[in-house]
Structure 1
Amino acid sequence: MSNEREKVAFSALTNYGAAYGPFDMDKTLVYKKVITNIGNGYDPSTGIFTAPVAGIYHFTFLYHAGGERASKLILKRNGEEITMTGDNKSQYEKSNNGGNAVCLQMKKMDRVCVVLAANCHVWGSEHTSFSGFLVCEE
């Protein structure tokens, strides 16, 4: 390991321009509009972040959605559910907003993504985002 600290950070937006979902099964959310991708860990064609180095990472995911359907996003590491955010449908709410954040100890090549749960939706706009950065290397 060199004395120079590795720099890893990404931030991306869904950027579909309309409602995204619902689908009959869980679906990895692909954030197509990349704002930052230092270290090239985020892949905008798959929606998956792959840790280029081992360390502690901080991840944040936020969404906006219409209230007429349920919304649920799940953050997964290597296929395992870590945390989630969501809201039930409501006849009284016109929109829902939510998010969550977590610090994770990651091994090199561990993979993190956000999954849209089956039968749920989000607005595929710039209000729905996924970001992460390396806090410290191990």
Structure 2
Amino acid sequence: MSKMMKINLYGEVPCGTFTEKTEHVAFGAALGLTDGNHGPFNEDKTVTYPVVFANAGGAYNPQTGVFTAPVKGVYFFTFSGHSLTSKAMGLQLMKNGEPVVMIYNHIDEPGRYIAASNAMNLELEKGDSVYVKLLKNTWMVDNNNNHSTFVGQLLFEDHTQR
């Protein structure tokens, strides 16, 4: 890594008295279904978001829906879901197979659309995985307006040794 003396817009961040170049890691993706419906399934499913708007650093895999941390650091993630109120929607943000935060829309008066979102900062080690899981027997909808999304970015790299 090259040592720098200043912080700039290209990812150099403080690390002691000098700075070290930081990885550029950010992605944004949407479900973007043409038929509108995703689910329900008889088991929990990892959501794949194939409509990729950005994938700086290439850490998000649109085929699997999984983000893999390329460096140790603190990352910000947000996810959203859109559904009809006639069916429940349950989504969980997962880190290495463990739930972190969730959103859940309960069945309500039919015929209305409803959206929900959640977000969290996560400390990740290099190789940690983060993804969104659709809960068993729930569903979500999307279309070319891209209501259902998954977004993440590296806030800062952690150069400390543990």
TM over 0.5: yes
1:5 CA drift (Å): 1.6
CA distance in 1, matches of 2:134, 2:152: 18
Q: Which has the higher contact order (CA 8 A, sep 6+)?
A: 1
**Which range moves more in the overlay, 1-10 or 78-87?**
1-10
CA distance in 1, matches of 2:46, 2:105: 18
Structure 1 unmatched ranges of 5 or more: none
Q: How does 1:1-138 map to 2 (within 5 A)?
A: 1-2=1-2, 3-17=20-34, 18-92=36-110, 94-125=112-143, 126-138=146-158
SS at match of 1:109: coil
CA RMSD of aligned residues (A): 1.1
1:92 CA drift (Å): 4.5
Identity of aligned residues (%): 38
SS at match of 1:85: strand
CA distance in 2, matches of 1:42, 1:137: 17
Structure 2 unmatched ranges of 5 or more: 3-19
CA distance in 1, matches of 2:112, 2:136: 21
The one-letter amino acid paired with 1:40 is: G
CA distance in 2, matches of 1:91, 1:119: 18
TM-score, normalising length: structure 2: 0.82
1:91 CA drift (Å): 2.5
Q: Tell me, yes or no, if the aligned pair for 2:75 and 2:121 is still in contact at 8 Å.
A: yes
4+ aligned runs moved over 4 Å, structure 1 = none
* The structure with more radius of gyration: 2
CA distance in 1, matches of 2:94, 2:150: 12
1:93 CA drift (Å): 5.7
CA offsets per residue over residues 33-75 of structure 1, 9 Å max, x none?
A: 1000000000000000000111000000011111110001000
CA distance in 2, matches of 1:80, 1:5: 27
CA distance in 2, matches of 1:93, 1:112: 33
1:6 CA drift (Å): 1.1
1:78 CA drift (Å): 0.4
CA distance in 2, matches of 1:47, 1:34: 11
TM-score, normalising length: structure 1: 0.96
